[in-house]
Structure 1
């Protein structure tokens, strides 16, 4: 269920009476609920933890702006219905959007080509001075990397790669959290892309690196290592400087638990901390080679 104040806000914003509310799984930064009215189904994102409540104004305002922008493109994103980024009317800072069709696909490495082609299309979204998102933010640094217990030379070498200044790059429109857990499929085709709160401006390599790491964790290092080539084959352009790949991968150290929890909730119970740490280290080894 949702709080009375939030229900009232939804009904005021939509002019429709809520008939049913159901919890959605798969997220870790916010609570996601499907809200059904007599005519349609919507999705309510609410930030409930103290950390994300503190940052909700910026995150939800950014996602609202991005959803408005993407409404003028062919990218299959939800349509914005309403946003209360500070929780002025709702019990928690919240964003209300349309429900996209489809389901996430976490158990099929054969979706790589479709993921790559869609990411190329995202990077081609055009922006101007008023719609360009913020510059990307690094999610780790040499001082903040959490190395696994007994970390060997592979980890030390990987951290050394990101000690220098970031390479020069040509900026593009980034999803910034693009991976199979944020892509919906219906009848074998991509039907939606979700979670636009981290949208940024930066190198295409950074989005490709993030999806590569996720694929390596889900399906094995060889699948992740092959993703940049799939992106280029789909028409994308990369610097392929390894800096971006190490920067992203080390952000998951030591065991990728922040993504593993929602992935396990979605059925991938095989993704134990030990397995993910092993895959992460083997992926780093592949990058170094």
Structure 2
């Protein structure tokens, strides 16, 4: 590949020597590089796990995120390295199981690209399929701990990605009337956006959760975290659970969250809004008929709850 290769085709390539030397020098100036592995994720960035072996033989895995898309400040400027660094500091301060910030090169002066270095969080995928009561309880407790954090002006307020809410159902939709009703119901928050604002992950989904011994051991991908309504995190997780597993799993998660936060009163508007935030589709982002069918099955229940 050369410099004319599109940035998204270069994401998986290893960081160059300059970036790797920055990582090694940050982790252990006397250590040596012991491996580099591409990690999925990061819409405008390239993410790699880099392993450094110390002079004493200690092996330390860390995660390097580099903002590789040339126009990321114009297209996704809100997902900045400075913002993610602030989020990781907040998470560490409040004991949230998230990566620890190790170093920040926001300008790219040290690495050639804006970059952030963080600790590697141990864990793996959910050990049960679908997650059972114990796993859903741990998931609910983990996000409830995030929502208990009250913030000032450390982070920007969350915003909807789909702000215009035009009636643009997915191309594979089989129930156009359902989608039209959903868009109509979602256009006016009716004061709901005045609900108390808390620390929200903003991309809370099964793919960003790590597990150890049936417990949540870490939450990753904090780049879009913000000050927002707790229910949006729940809505985002619920549609993901409904698509990856089924609607009963999504409902069971909500039950577990209510157990973790007895004062919580759920408003299905946020379930609806989290789904509508997925649209409109783009040429590179469309939903298969199978996924669309699962979304519609979930959405019918949400719309019925709002009538």
Q: Same fold (TM over 0.5)?
A: yes
8 A contact 1:46–1:95 mirrored in 2: yes
Q: Under a length normalisation based on structure 1, what TM-score does the superposition of the two structures give?
A: 0.85
Give the distance between the partners of 1:65 and 1:32, measured in 2 at CA.
Answer: 18
Q: Structure 1's 51 and 187: CA in aligned 2 closer, same or farther, altered over 3 A? A: farther
Aligned-residue Cα RMSD (Å) equals 2.7
Q: Under a length normalisation based on structure 2, what TM-score does the superposition of the two structures give?
A: 0.80
8 A contact 2:162–2:279 mirrored in 1: no
Q: Structure 1's 145 and 242: CA in aligned 2 closer, same or farther, altered over 3 A? A: same
Give the distance between the partners of 2:224 and 2:180, measured in 1 at CA.
Answer: 28
Give the distance between the partners of 1:57 and 1:86, measured in 2 at CA.
Answer: 15
Deviation string 1:158-203 (CA, Å, 9 cap, x unpaired) is: 1011111451301111111111111100121111111111111111
Deviates more, 1:194-203 or 1:226-235: 226-235
Give the distance between the partners of 1:282 and 1:257, measured in 2 at CA.
Answer: 24
8 A contact 2:167–2:180 mirrored in 1: no
8 A contact 1:256–1:273 mirrored in 2: no
Q: Which aligned segments of 4 or more residues in structure 1 are displaced greater than 6 angstroms? A: 254-260
Correspondence for 1:276: 291
Correspondence for 2:86: 65
Give the distance between the partners of 1:220 and 1:174, measured in 2 at CA.
Answer: 24
Instruction: Report deviation, 1:51.
Output: 4.7
Q: Which has the higher Rg, Structure 1 or Structure 2?
A: 2
Correspondence for 2:63: 43
8 A contact 1:47–1:93 mirrored in 2: yes
Give the distance between the partners of 2:256 and 2:103, measured in 1 at CA.
Answer: 37
Correspondence for 2:301: 286
Give the distance between the partners of 2:292 and 2:78, measured in 1 at CA.
Answer: 34
147, 169, 187: which one aligns with 1:147:
169
Instruction: Report deviation, 1:287.
Output: 0.5
Gaps of 5+ in 1: 261-271
78, 103, 114: which one aligns with 2:138:
114
Give the distance between the partners of 1:145 and 1:44, measured in 2 at CA.
Answer: 39
Give the distance between the partners of 2:282 and 2:209, measured in 1 at CA.
Answer: 19
Correspondence for 1:204: 230
Correspondence for 1:187: 213
Correspondence for 1:269: none
Gaps of 5+ in 2: 1-13
Larger RCO of the pair (alpha carbons < 8 Å, separation 6+)? 1
Deviation string 1:19-55 (CA, Å, 9 cap, x unpaired) is: 2111123554432211111131101112223453544
Correspondence for 1:170: 196
Give the distance between the partners of 1:5 and 1:57, measured in 2 at CA.
Answer: 26
